[in-house]
Amino acid sequence: MRWELASTWPWPSVDEIERRFEELIRERWGAGVTAPPADVFVAEESIWVELDLPGVELRDVRVRSEAGWLWIEAMRRPRPPSEAARPARVERARGALRRAVPLPAGLHPEPVEVTLEAGVLRIHLRKELRS
């Protein structure tokens, strides 16, 4: 494929470069997987992991712990405002979302609670009490 930049200025606009880069990457390797940002909070008996997942429904989220890692997988589906609407600019990641968070030793293997509210996935894990 041959590209021509439609700009009279000797340098293309940043938007044009980003658009061409995204076009090249998606054409060659596909959309890929996005790792959403995460925060981890630690208390004496609990750990909370929070991820930003706007536009994701809880039914599209899978949480599992394995070998000292918490794995979060989700699917963000495109939701245009109407069936007739076509994208003019797409910046938010769509498709597969995946994040792995290392966990300290001594955690109960299963989450106590998993909630999704206002676009934030909150996972509550309990530390195992030792006697």
One digit per residue, the tens of pLDDT, for the chain of length 131 reads: 454 545 555 566 666 776 676 666 655 555 566 888 999 999 888 999 999 999 899 999 999 988 788 999 999 887 778 888 887 777 777 788 899 998 887 777 777 899 999 999 999 999 876 55
What is the predicted pLDDT for the residue at 78? 77
pTM of the model: 0.68
Domain boundaries, the chain: 32-78+94-131
Q: Say yes or no: domain 32-78+94-131 is CATH 2.60.40.790.
A: yes
Locate all alpha helices (DSSP H) within 11-74, ordered by sequence.
14-29
On whether the CB atoms of residues 60 and 75 are closer than 8 A, the answer is: yes
What is the predicted pLDDT for the residue at 104? 80
What is the predicted pLDDT for the residue at 19? 67
Residues in contact with 92: Cβ distance below 8 Å, sequence separation at least 6, in sequence order: 54, 55, 76
On whether the CB atoms of residues 123 and 49 are closer than 8 A, the answer is: yes
What is the predicted pLDDT for the residue at 129? 60
**Residue of 25, 29, 7 whose CA lies nearest to 16:** 7
The CA distance from 54 to 120, in Å, is 7
